Structure 1
Amino acid sequence: MTDTTIPTLDSDDSFSAYVARPSGTPTAAIVVIQEVFGVNPGIRQKCDRLAAEGYLAVAPDLFWRIEPGIQLNPDVPDELNRGLELFGAFDQDAGIRDIEATIRWARSEVAGGKVGCVGYCLGGRLAYMTAARTDVDASVGYYAVGVPDLLREAHGIAHPLLLHIAGADHFVDAATQAKMHEGLDDHPKVTLLDYPGEDHGFATEMGDRRSPEAADRADAATAAFFAEHLG
């Protein structure tokens, strides 16, 4: 488990990323897309878990243009508020380009093999955008925010996308969830899974937001999804 540097798509700059490698030859690579709290211990632990499952896992620092290397704890109110501020300042289109650069880097690390992505909160939204805008082989988003704003891009989703929806998400209300289902249920490449009564952040690795039973269920579905589409 180490940090590396990834060049931007234009090769005019670079940004850091956390990398977790399996003990043997990786079966594929997965880009882990951060929440608004940076590449913090929870995101690094997500990478470590994926490496234990045989994947090369890499989490790019998407906030590097604003505050490189930031790591926040969502259970600390001031740090939670700082994360929300960063969300407002973040250029999502630039973030997708950085994710695409990370996909290219990861593909080279697995000798041209398959690359997936998984993201949480903001990262869930970016996972959807990655599915619509890049050649990623499979994407997973947990409690993605603002998806109805992106439904116009659904035609661009050419590879499988799985979205986990928290039924009691205080950032994604029932009306928004209904729009997600209305816009995506018939899409041949998209699967939506609902978790009634669960709140935003239920699958975090640690902290007050974690809901163990729902997290385990969602993570098992994610594992099966990646095994099917990245194997």
Structure 2
Amino acid sequence: VWHTKLAQSNRDAELRGTWLSTGDMSVYVSHPGPLGHARPPAGYPVVLVAHHAVGVYHATFLREYCDALAAEGYLAVLPDLFHRVWSDQVPTGLGIAIEKMDIKAMLGSQRDADIVADLEATLGLLAANRSLYADTQRVGVLGFCMGGRIAWLGAVNAG
């Protein structure tokens, strides 16, 4: 049900990206190709965007940021790093007030090894989807709020 709401939220906000899945985790992907950027021979450089403490669904600004990065020629991706915690007791935040979100449970669900595995799974998803033309050798990670620490984890655990 929330995936349907999410698709509607993307349309309402006029977002350009699409959602892909690693199997367990949803990943917002904003591609520069449809915006007129010629494909570089090695593929588009990748920017992994690490979300803040309320995740990727509560507000659209991180998806809008990915779209802005794509407009500059980057393949921008926003993985849902809270995917392990979502349940009826811990809702995604889509369409609800921030006060009703269980941010303590969301933050408590984060483990460094899981975060690194999710970043690697995101890169694996990009590499497996050849139609995205991702250059997974040129990857930057940036983050907002707790995403700054996630960016650091990605950098020090780069494989």
Report the counterpart of residue 106 of structure 1 in structure 2.
126
Report the counterpart of residue 60 of structure 1 in structure 2.
79
Which amino acid in 1 is paired with 2:71?
A
Which amino acid in 1 is paired with 2:28?
Y
TM-score (ref. length: structure 1): 0.48
1:19 pairs with 2:29: yes
Q: Report the number of matched residues.
A: 127
Report the counterpart of residue 77 of structure 1 in structure 2.
99
Q: Is 1:36–1:84's contact at 8 Å kept on the other side of the alignment?
A: no
Instruction: With a CA cutoff of 8 Å and minimum separation of 6, indicate the structure with the bigger relative contact order.
Output: 2
Report the counterpart of residue 152 of structure 2 in structure 1.
128
Alpha-carbon RMSD across the aligned residues, in angstroms, is 2.6
Q: Which runs of 5+ in 2 are unaligned?
A: 1-16
Which amino acid in 2 is paired with 1:122?
M
Which amino acid in 2 is paired with 1:55?
Y
Report the counterpart of residue 216 of structure 1 in structure 2.
none
- How big is each residue's C-alpha offset from its partner over 1:128-164, in whole Å with a ceiling of 9 and x where there is no partner? 11111114xxxxxxxxxxxxxxxxxxxxxxxxxxxxx
Q: Is 1:107–1:113's contact at 8 Å kept on the other side of the alignment?
A: no
SS in 2 for 1:123: helix
Q: Is 2:45–2:139's contact at 8 Å kept on the other side of the alignment?
A: yes
Report the counterpart of residue 169 of structure 1 in structure 2.
none
- Structure 1 CA distance for aligned equivalents of residues 124 and 98 of structure 2: 35
Residue 120 of structure 1 deviates from its aligned partner by: 1.3
Q: Which runs of 5+ in 1 are unaligned?
A: 7-12, 136-231
TM-score (ref. length: structure 2): 0.68
- Structure 1 CA distance for aligned equivalents of residues 77 and 28 of structure 2: 6
Report the counterpart of residue 4 of structure 1 in structure 2.
20
- Structure 2 CA distance for aligned equivalents of residues 57 and 27 of structure 1: 9
Report the counterpart of residue 93 of structure 1 in structure 2.
113
